[in-house]
Amino acid sequence: MENPDLTVEAEARPSGRIQRANSLAGDVYEAIFAQLMSLKIPPGSRITVDNLVREFDVSHTPIREALGRLEGEGLVVKTHLIGYRAAPQITRRRFDELYELRLLLEPAAAAKATATLDEERLTALREAAGVMARRVGKDERLRYSNFARQDAIFHDKIMEFAQNELIRETLNHQHTHFHIFRLMYHSRVTEEALDEHEAILAAFAAGDASGAADAMRVHIENSRDRLLPAFE
Ligand SMILES: [Zn+2]
C-alpha cells in the first residue's frame, strides 16, 4: 500500500504485521477516520468516493464500507443524489448542551463506579488510559484519532462500571468524543487530558468516591475550556 498514513497504521498494530486480505477495509476506515478527526477532511465538506479510491489506491468496496461505518458513527452524512459529506461541526449551543449533560452525568457516575471497582476493573481502566499515553507511530494524525477513540473507551468503561445502561447509552448515542475532538486538532487537547485521567485513576485506586467525582468534574470542565477557543 502506497499511502503513508496506511503504512504507519500497519506498523502501529500490536501484531506488527499487516494482514492485507482481512484488514484492508479496516485500514481504509482508520485512514479516513484519522483525516476526519484531524480536520484534513474539513467538517461539512464533500467526500468523493472516486477521490478516495485514487488517494488510497484501493477499489470502491472498502471505501464504501468505511463510509458506511463512519455514517453510523455520526462522522459522515449521506444525502440522496449528493453523496457523502463530512458531518458539520457541532454548534456552540450543542457544545454547551453536551458539556452540561456530561457534567450532570459523569462525575456522579465516577463516584458510583468507585464502589464497584476490583483489581480487574481497575486494571482495565488503567489499560484504557495507558494506551492513550503510548506514542505509537510517527503519524500525528493517527495518534490523535486513536487518542479520541481511546478517550471514548475510557469514559465508557467508567459508565459501564457505574451500572446504569440508560445513562451509558445516552452518552454513547451522542458520539461525544468524536465530535469534540474534531473541534480542534492540537496536542494540548490530548496531553493535558492524560494528567487529568491519572487523577481520576488515583481516586479510583484509593476508593475515594467523592475524589473521583471531583477529578471527573475537573477533567470535563478543563476539556470544555480547552476546546472553547475553537468557536472564536
Ligand atoms: Zn477523558
What is the per-residue pLDDT for 145? 86
Instruction: Tell how far the Cα of 223 is from the centroid of ligand 1, in angstroms.
Output: 8
Instruction: Tell how far the Cα of 25 is from the centroid of ligand 1, in angstroms.
Output: 28
Instruction: Tell how far the Cα of 153 is from the centroid of ligand 1, in angstroms.
Output: 9
Instruction: Tell how far the Cα of 149 is from the centroid of ligand 1, in angstroms.
Output: 10
- Going by their DSSP bridges, the two strands 83-86 and 76-79 should be labelled as antiparallel
Q: What is the CA radius of gyration of the chain?
A: 18
Decide: residue 205, CB within 10 A, 0-12 exposed, 13-18 middle, 19+ buried: middle
- Torsion of the alpha carbons at 16, 19, 25 and 29, rounded to the nearest 10: 0
CA distances in angstroms from 147 to 56, 129, 209, listed in the order given: 23, 10, 26
Q: Mark out the alpha helices in the chain (DSSP H runs).
A: 4-12, 20-37, 49-56, 60-72, 92-114, 119-133, 140-162, 165-173, 176-181, 187-205, 209-227
Let me know: does 210 contact 111? Beta carbons within 8 Å. Answer: yes
Instruction: Tell how far the Cα of 24 is from the centroid of ligand 1, in angstroms.
Output: 30
Instruction: Tell how far the Cα of 40 is from the centroid of ligand 1, in angstroms.
Output: 23
Instruction: Tell how far the Cα of 225 is from the centroid of ligand 1, in angstroms.
Output: 13
- CA angle 124/138/123 to nearest 5° reads 10
Instruction: Tell how far the Cα of 92 is from the centroid of ligand 1, in angstroms.
Output: 20
What is the per-residue pLDDT for 133? 65
The mean pLDDT values, 10 residues at a time, for the chain of 232 residues are 41 42 83 92 94 93 94 92 92 95 97 96 90 68 86 94 95 87 84 91 97 98 94 89
What is the per-residue pLDDT for 13? 41
What is the per-residue pLDDT for 17? 41
| Among 130, 119, 118, 108, CA closest to 194 | 130
Which cell is 126 given?
A: 488503567
Instruction: Tell how far the Cα of 202 is from the centroid of ligand 1, in angstroms.
Output: 14
Give the separation between CA 156 and CA 5, rounded to whole angstroms: 27
Instruction: Tell how far the Cα of 154 is from the centroid of ligand 1, in angstroms.
Output: 7
